[in-house]
Chains A and B, each alone.
Chain A
Amino acid sequence: MRVMRAEPSRFADVTSRSVGAAWRSYDLQLTTYAGLLGAIGLVMAYTNSVEAGQSLLAGGTTFSRALMWSALAIVAFTIMTALDYRWLKTLAWPIYGVNLGLLVLTLVIGDGVGGSARWVNVGPFTFQFSELAKILMITVLAAYLGNREGHLDSLSAILGACLLMAPTILLVMMQPDLGSSLVLASILAGMLFMSGASLRWLLAMAAGVLVAIPIAWTYVLRDYQQNRILSFLNPAADALGSRWQVTQSQIAIGAGGFLGTGLTNGTQSRGDFLPVQESDFVFAVLAQELGFIGAVVVFLLFSALIWRILSCAWRSRDPFGTLFGAGLASMLLFQVFVNVGMVIGILPVTGIPLPFISHGGASLVSIAIGLGVIQSVNIRQHRAEW
């Protein structure tokens, strides 16, 4: 009976419901906020290109690459919106396999700085599969936990989710990419929490993680990763090392003041005082050039976007949609918090990009895929009946 009722709806979304009906449940706000954040990302790419003395539209500049990736992101977003998200549930296991395969591939043929293997060259593009892995794992976990809704008081489902996530985190750590590993862990935690898993067990596991930290410190973290954390805990010890980045970015942010110095006028970034100013530390440039006002606007856009994702998760009658939204919201919130927290000096330096704004195509395209899935969830269900 249930099957009978469901069958038509599964294939008939586009056919049986008018495009207009789909459009009505499309979340225009979400797309707007995402679009505005993407535009700010382009503006920052522009200012960084100008300050680096690049001619804007020449191939390979920060700005022209950002334009190209933005176009790709729009395509990915559109495709994912059009695609029935339920295919993702069907294909969860193959997706999981592809995810692990790409990460292994990265370890085997990937390039990186100083012996690391973080990105893979695909023709003219370089792609960081650890970014894609975040979205793929959100998909896999949403399918897995959604299947077990109502049984999540048990430890087994929680452990199962952890076991599912563990190989991915390990493969990413081996690159080594501590930041992405932390994001994956935060996705796991956020989704378990939102899935309704037993708080008791979650707290017990959190305690377990705390116990595991000293062990991980000794056996898992690389020297430079340890140094970064140490320098955060004791800033004076390493004035010109990784702490230097933070000191310089705080100077940049502070110098921005209320209204900012204006685009392309960031003295800190012009003089190359800011390291990786177009990627992980882009927020420092933004805060200097657009000021407190600009930064708060960015915070508001992120808040609004996360709110729209959560509201989609709330409305979804399908636990997959709820969990996918929870995972995506967790990921965005965690990345914004850790990245901005690092730049403004309240968290240690970890290589986590700021969604939409940090330069880097994999992150943008992955988020676009995630948002596309959210829209797909939005337009393929009836409003919640409350």
Chain B
Amino acid sequence: MNDSLLVSHPERDRRPIRFVAFGLIGILVFGLLTFRLAYLQLSNGPAYAAQAETNRTAKISVPAPRGLIYDRTGKLLVANVATFAVKITPADLPFSRRDDVASRLGTLLGMDPSDIIATLDSAPGSRFDQVRIAQDVPEATARVVSESGDDLPGVAVVVETRREYPDGALLAHILGYTGSIDGGTLEKLSASGYLADDTIGKAGIEATFESTLRGTYGVELMERDATGRDVQVLQTVQDAVPGASLTLTVDQTIQKEATAALKWGMKAAGLKRGVFIVMNPQTGEVLAMVSLPSYDNNLFAKGISNKDFQALLADKNKPLTNHAVQAHYPPGSTYKLVAGTGALQDHKITAATKVRTKGYLLLGPTRFYDWNKRGFGLCNLNCGFGHSSDTYFFQLAGMLGADRLAYWGKMYGFGKPTGIDLPGEAAGIVPSNQWKIDALGQPMFAGEVYQSGIGQGYDVVTPIQLINAYAALANGGKLYRPQLVHDIIGPDGAVVRSFQPELIRKLPVSAKTLVAMRLAARSTVTLRHTYNLVDMPVKVAGKSGTAEFGTRDSKGRLPYSSWFVGWVGKNPYKADFAKADSQLIFLAFAYDSRTKGNAGTEIAKAFLQLHFHIKKDYLNRDLLHRGNFYQSN
């Protein structure tokens, strides 16, 4: 080695060609790099600059505070509370770790891991949208979750507001609730600014007044780093505008009275479902609306567990259904209002016309029984309506015929949703010849017309339709749309929309006819068809009803469901029902009552005692014992 170290090689072959080749390769390399760089920076520079900007910034929605809801006296019915929510970004959660993360999170949050997986799988947004897993997480738990970043990839704790309903089940059917938006709804509403992890009103007023309550979400330009963490707000593109607040027509105190009365009656009579509605017939304002069984809407606002939700769905008495609005039932004798009004207005009878009532009417070989096996003899309107004689109204229905009967039913608002501010309202059925041809292929039989006349045919009504029809009678013939929202109040406190009664129609009925029907309704009370209601200090006119339907008992008998709809005058202690000045009408509906007495009437009396602070107890508890059917309409 040393030998060659010292040798200089003046004759060395330096291979200039290889030096030149190396140099050319170098030039080629730097030329290629420069060319590519020029392509990226010079010809495509602006496009990449824009991409770098979008890379860095994101438009963030800033949720607007949702509007509040008050009762008519100003009591707060819905509040917004700040809660810790746990959310998962599916894109950041490796699939292989899903089960592991779900079970860890399940343990921390006290949730079923399968619920977490199900929530993730049913999330509507993209994999990059956060999915709300739990709300109302206690602060200590939230802290643990947010500190276990490595063990819980993709999991984040977010502070958000949720709805709190201080009265829970008391107003659940009116207020409804908000919940996580589902995929189909999101698709329709994402253009209106709804986010994948957004909440939306899903039932009740929360749903019907969603756009009013929601407000307008703000938009902020947020600087983000590569991992999607927010660095800082660069610009507020649009300020969030809080939602408007609502003042309801509902009076929380009356709602409580109605609920207490209905609960008492349901317990005393062993009822499965019940409805109580209170309205002002002069305006269509709903003062109270109770549907039992109810549910705690806070469960939904907090994010209901699958188990709780399945339990509510499985309940035969459908606590999630607002039976006052979303379900229809045979009206029974309360429907005699239609036949009576129609027969008077179509001049088939006058209030004084005497009609022979019997134990039963014969129609061919078929007997149509009165509830009273002896009948009531010759009966005028007060007698027929007051005693609720079935044979009287069979004959009136027969005089009118199916189509006129249906016409008057429709005039009173039956067969069509009333338009109350609640979602999912049922329409009910008013059977006419055309209806039966459409539904069953043939016109109404005469016997079916009879049954319709006493509300036990094909006709079904919602409780809200029924009270609204009687409200039109009580107010002198004006059929109003029932309303639940009195005022809409802007975020600045100014009234955006104040209450206006909305007339559906003026009944094509003379004042005389209506006076006759109101007096007939009073005779229901004075003839003691409603027992001791007449003895109460408040003077009531109204109508009871019983209908057989539902599931037969062991002896093959159908359960009875009973109604009472009644009103008091402007001065409730004065019995002047020729006047149409009532400001309080109420309806009780008792489903599946196997009692001697009319549970509906007893519940109405219980309400009156509470509402008018009547000290003496007029309730006939003994009549409500289950077991014996009370044969009355």
* B37 partner residues in chain A, CB cutoff 8 A: 253, 287, 292, 295-296, 344
In the complex where A303-B26, A317-B9 touch, is A291 in contact with B41 (Cβ < 8 A)? yes
CB distance from A322 to the nearest CB of B (A): 8
| Residue of A10, A89, A196, A302 touching B15 (CB-CB under 8 A) | A196
In the complex where A196-B13, A256-B45, A319-B9 touch, is A344 in contact with B40 (Cβ < 8 A)? yes
* B21 partner residues in chain A, CB cutoff 8 A: 193
* A329 partner residues in chain B, CB cutoff 8 A: 22, 26
Contact A333 B225 (CB under 8 A): no
Chain A contact residues, majority secondary structure: helix
B224 interface residue, CB < 8 Å from A?
A: yes
Contact B32 A346 (CB under 8 A): yes
Contact B2 A90 (CB under 8 A): yes
A273 interface residue, CB < 8 Å from B?
A: yes
Contact B33 A253 (CB under 8 A): no
* A326 partner residues in chain B, CB cutoff 8 A: 22
| Residue of B12, B33, B42, B45 touching A149 (CB-CB under 8 A) | B12
A310 interface residue, CB < 8 Å from B?
A: yes
A299 interface residue, CB < 8 Å from B?
A: yes
| Residue of B22, B42, B46, B227 touching A193 (CB-CB under 8 A) | B22
| Residue of A251, A291, A302, A344 touching B52 (CB-CB under 8 A) | A251
In the complex where A147-B1, A194-B18, A340-B33 touch, is A268 in contact with B55 (Cβ < 8 A)? yes
A306 interface residue, CB < 8 Å from B?
A: yes
Contact B34 A296 (CB under 8 A): yes
Q: How far is the CA of A319 from the CA of B53 in the complex (A)?
A: 54
A114 interface residue, CB < 8 Å from B?
A: no
Q: Tell which of B34, B224, B227 has the most Cβ of chain A within 10 Å.
A: B34
Q: How far is the CA of A272 from the CA of B227 in the complex (A)?
A: 8
In the complex where A2-B7, A292-B37 touch, is A254 in contact with B45 (Cβ < 8 A)? yes
**Number of chain B residues close to chain A: CB under 8 A:** 50
| Residue of B5, B10, B45 touching A257 (CB-CB under 8 A) | B45
**Number of chain A residues close to chain B: CB under 8 A:** 68
Q: How far is the CA of A344 from the CA of B46 in the complex (A)?
A: 16
B14 interface residue, CB < 8 Å from A?
A: yes
Q: How far is the CA of A146 from the CA of B4 in the complex (A)?
A: 8
Number of A-B contacts (CB under 8 A): 165
Q: Beta-carbon contacts of B481-517 to A below 8 Å, as 1s and 0s?
A: 0000000000000000000000000000000000000
Residue in chain A with minimal CB distance to B16: A314
Q: Beta-carbon contacts of B33-54 to A below 8 Å, as 1s and 0s?
A: 1101110111011111101110
| Residue of B23, B38, B53 touching A292 (CB-CB under 8 A) | B38
Q: Tell which of B34, B41, B225 has the most Cβ of chain A within 10 Å.
A: B41
* A254 partner residues in chain B, CB cutoff 8 A: 40-41, 44-45, 47-49, 51-52
Pull 11 A–B residue pairs with CB atoms less than 8 Å apart, ordered by A.
Answer: A90-B5, A251-B52, A252-B52, A258-B41, A267-B56, A268-B55, A271-B231, A273-B225, A287-B41, A317-B10, A344-B40
**Which residues of A are in contact with B by a Cβ distance under 8 Å?**
2-3, 5-7, 9-10, 86, 89-90, 92, 143, 146-147, 149-150, 190, 193-194, 196, 248, 250-258, 267-268, 270-274, 287-288, 291-292, 295-296, 299, 302-303, 306-307, 310, 313-314, 317-320, 322, 326, 329-330, 333, 336-337, 340-341, 344-346, 385
Known A291-B41, A344-B37; further 12 A-B contacts with Cβ < 8 A: A5-B6, A9-B6, A194-B15, A251-B55, A254-B45, A257-B41, A257-B45, A258-B41, A292-B37, A299-B30, A303-B27, A341-B33
